[in-house]
């Protein structure tokens, strides 16, 4: 990931203003420690902090067209840049950067080219011929972007809030899938897939189509394969974040299978590196090691202590720019792991974010009343990813100059997955369909297995042994309790969350929490942990505009506010953590037992099967 900053229409264009832009751009240097660039044109400034992933030698930014009349600063990767260059054979390219194609596409097609880009990106482009400019963000918001306005009428764009919060009177998160045009003076949506309008799809489920779209659906001569394979586009060392859960395990398995066919293997070898973090003895470490051994990766296991995590909290909140409780819990281990990974010389990793939103993998989806509401909720969850999982994955890694790529959020893959009749995604214990069954089934290959069946059909183990339940009860009642965005905050060892709560208890008094609504009337914290995080956030970002960038509202097990209506009991005690849905999962599991669905779930692990049998026997 790189860091970008752009300012247009400054009243002051003196040397002092240039120095101020450079100073603010330095606040983003953690995102791009490899090089800095700045282009000035009258009262317009485009700054860049580069993390060199593709063409490290000549791809410094800002980038230009042939006569330098078009200037662009970009954060991201354009995976189909080679195919796009074939359409621009009359243009001359100065570098091997994948992002240079943006300047030439603008020259050729004007402002209506953004939907041609396949990748993750935020960019700002200046046309010096008329001083017009555009800014755009990728479809889902994998890369961050903020827009702000100064009192002097200037318009600002930045990868992170910290680069514009001091100099802008108002600022906000730039919406994913949108483009700003100075000519039109408005922000409009360029990304318009059928699922965005939440219309109910009816395409029959085809596991082969889903699998091939994820791994290798495109084999044109100059094309990189889609989803996982295309994200192996790199000129630097890379790896995969592997927690041992379904999503990260599939990403690692597919990457390991196709790595040998990629150009990256010629430079860095055909053995994939995988990385996992956790408290010693945590479930994720054990599960990740098992997957790594099966697919044959070179696995790196990192440990941290609760105290080390607590000590990092202020730094984490400064970098991720949120006070959302579950995001902070999950970001802290990821932040610590990213530092370790970068110390090994690795600059890019693949990660498994997005699957739970697309396939309805969260616990509360058990209560979806029908396929229509199931699909509408997945659509809402995808639209909100930029505020939660994408924010965490990007900023936690970028804090140390590490780039995270997310294959599940590939545009083509999302279109295929979201076109499936949601009846197939519904959780149906009577039919043996557990969470994300359509994804598990698509990769269930007896001839050439991606993963062992007990891993492919494993439901996420959320708690460490120290949580106070026996192994059997933990499996039966708690095995998918927390959402994917907390994969690092629960699988790393549940004492991590308990440690955070204990620490907050010592920092926040009962009286402070009682008066929270007077101190923080917007998104009032309801727990001492939430209050503690809010005080840290406000220290770094005290403006009203900053606190408004963080979402709020009722949630159960990380649902949207709309899904809280699915169960009357949830409305009485909304809680964003998975604990609020304990009863949901217990009842769903009992339904499975009553239907004798043990025989329908393919090859469960011996421990899980034994637990089911013992629980049934004592019922």
How far apart (Å, rounded) are the C-alpha atoms in residues 119 and 76?
A: 7
Mutual angle of helices 389-398 and 313-320, in 10-degree steps: 110
Which spans in 465-515 are helix H? 471-478, 487-490, 495-507, 510-514
Helices (H), 273-384: 283-295, 306-311, 313-320, 325-343, 355-359, 371-383
Feature table: binding site for ATP: 241, 277, 351-352
Distance, first Cα to last Cα, the chain: 53
Bin 229: left if φ > 0, else alpha if -120 < ψ < 50, else beta: alpha
576 phi and psi, to 5 degrees? -70, -15
Asked about 2 being catalytic, the answer comes back as: yes
Contact call for residues 78 and 117 (beta carbons, < 8 A): yes
Neighbouring CB atoms inside 10 A of 271's CB total 12
Residue 202 main-chain phi, psi, to 5 deg:
-135, 10
Q: Are 63 and 55 in contact (CB under 8 A)?
A: no
Closest to 521 in 3D by CA, of 492, 548, 489: 548
Please state the residue numbers annotated as binding site for L-glutamine.
98
Q: φ and ψ at 428, to 5 degrees? A: -125, 85
Query: CA triplet 437, 439, 444: central angle to 5 degrees?
Result: 90
CB 171 within 8 A of CB 161: yes
For residue 22, what is the enclosing H or E element?
Answer: helix 15-26
Q: Which residues pair with 38 in a beta bridge?
A: 47
CA angle (467, 243, 581) in 5-degree steps = 45
CA 367, 371, 377, 383 dihedral sign is positive
Binding-site residues, in ranges, read 98, 241, 277, 351-352
- Of 2, 168, 276, 558, the active-site residue reads 2
Cα separation, 389 vs 8, in Å, equals 31
Residue with structure tokens 């070179």? 298
Q: Helices 606-618 and 471-478 meet at what angle, rounded to 10?
A: 90
| Residue 47 φ then ψ, to 5° | -115, 155
SS3 state at 467: helix
Q: Which residues are catalytic?
A: 2
């Amino acid at each position: 990931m790189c860091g970008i900053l752009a300012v247009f229409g400054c009243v002051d264009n003196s040397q002092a203003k240039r120095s101020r832009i450079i100073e603010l751009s330095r606040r983003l240097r953690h995102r791009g420690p490899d090089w800095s660039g700045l282009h000035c044109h009258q009262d317009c400034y485009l700054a860049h902090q580069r993390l060199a992933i593709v063409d490290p030698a000549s791809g410094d930014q800002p980038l230009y067209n042939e006569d330098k009349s078009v200037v662009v600063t970009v954060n991201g990767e354009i995976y189909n840049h080679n195919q796009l260059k074939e359409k621009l054979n009359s243009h001359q390219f100065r570098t091997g950067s994948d992002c240079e194609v943006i300047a030439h596409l603008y020259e050729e097609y004007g402002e209506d080219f953004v939907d041609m880009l396949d990748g993750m990106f935020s960019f700002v482009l200046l046309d010096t011929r008329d001083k017009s400019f555009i800014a755009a963000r990728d479809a889902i918001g994998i890369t961050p972007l903020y827009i702000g306005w100064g009192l002097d009428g200037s318009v600002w764009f930045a990868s992170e809030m910290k680069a514009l919060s001091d100099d802008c009177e108002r600022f906000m998160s730039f919406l994913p899938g949108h483009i700003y045009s100075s000519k039109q003076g408005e922000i409009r949506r360029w990304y318009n897939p059928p699922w965005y309008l939440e219309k109910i799809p009816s395409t029959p489920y085809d596991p082969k189509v889903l699998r091939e779209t994820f791994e290798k659906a495109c084999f044109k001569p100059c094309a990189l394969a889609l989803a996982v394979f295309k994200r192996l586009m790199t000129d630097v060392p890379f790896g995969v974040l592997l927690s041992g859960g379904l999503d990260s395990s599939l990403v690692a398995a597919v990457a390991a299978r196709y790595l040998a066919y990629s150009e990256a293997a010629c430079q860095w070898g055909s053995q994939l590196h995988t990385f996992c973090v956790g408290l010693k003895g945590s479930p994720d470490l054990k599960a990740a090691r098992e997957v790594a051994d099966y697919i044959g990766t070179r696995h790196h296991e990192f440990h941290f202590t609760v105290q080390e995590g607590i000590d990092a909290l202020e730094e984490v909140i400064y970098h991720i720019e949120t006070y959302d409780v579950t995001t902070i819990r999950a970001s802290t281990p990821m932040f610590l792991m990213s530092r370790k990974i970068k110390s090994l010389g690795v600059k890019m990793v693949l990660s498994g974010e997005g699957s739970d939103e697309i396939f309805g993998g969260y616990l509360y989806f058990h209560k979806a009343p029908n396929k229509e509401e199931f699909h509408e909720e997945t659509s809402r969850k995808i639209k909100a990813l930029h505020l939660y999982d994408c924010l965490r994955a990007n900023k936690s890694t970028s804090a140390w100059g590490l780039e995270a790529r997310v294959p599940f959020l590939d545009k083509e893959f999302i279109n295929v997955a979201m076109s499936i009749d949601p009846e197939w995604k519904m959780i149906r214990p009577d039919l043996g369909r557990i969470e994300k069954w359509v994804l598990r089934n698509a990769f269930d290959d007896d001839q050439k297995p991606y993963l062992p069946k007990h891993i492919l059909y494993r439901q996420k183990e959320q708690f460490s042994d120290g949580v106070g339940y026996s192994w059997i009860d933990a499996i039966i009642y708690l095995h998918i309790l927390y959402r994917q965005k907390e994969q690092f905050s629960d699988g790393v060892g549940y004492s991590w969350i308990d440690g955070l709560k204990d620490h907050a208890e010592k920092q926040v008094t009962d009286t402070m929490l009682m008066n929270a609504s007077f101190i923080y009337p917007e998104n009032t914290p309801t727990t001492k942990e939430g209050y503690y995080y809010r005080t840290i956030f406000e220290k770094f970002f005290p403006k009203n505009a900053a606190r408004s960038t963080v979402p709020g509202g009722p949630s159960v097990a990380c649902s949207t506010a709309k899904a809280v209506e699915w169960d009357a009991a949830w409305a009485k005690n909304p809680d964003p953590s998975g604990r609020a849905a304990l009863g949901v999962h217990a009842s769903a599991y009992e339904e499975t037992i009553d239907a004798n669905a043990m025989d329908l779930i393919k090859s469960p692990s011996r421990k899980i099967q034994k637990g089911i049998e013992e629980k049934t026997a004592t019922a």
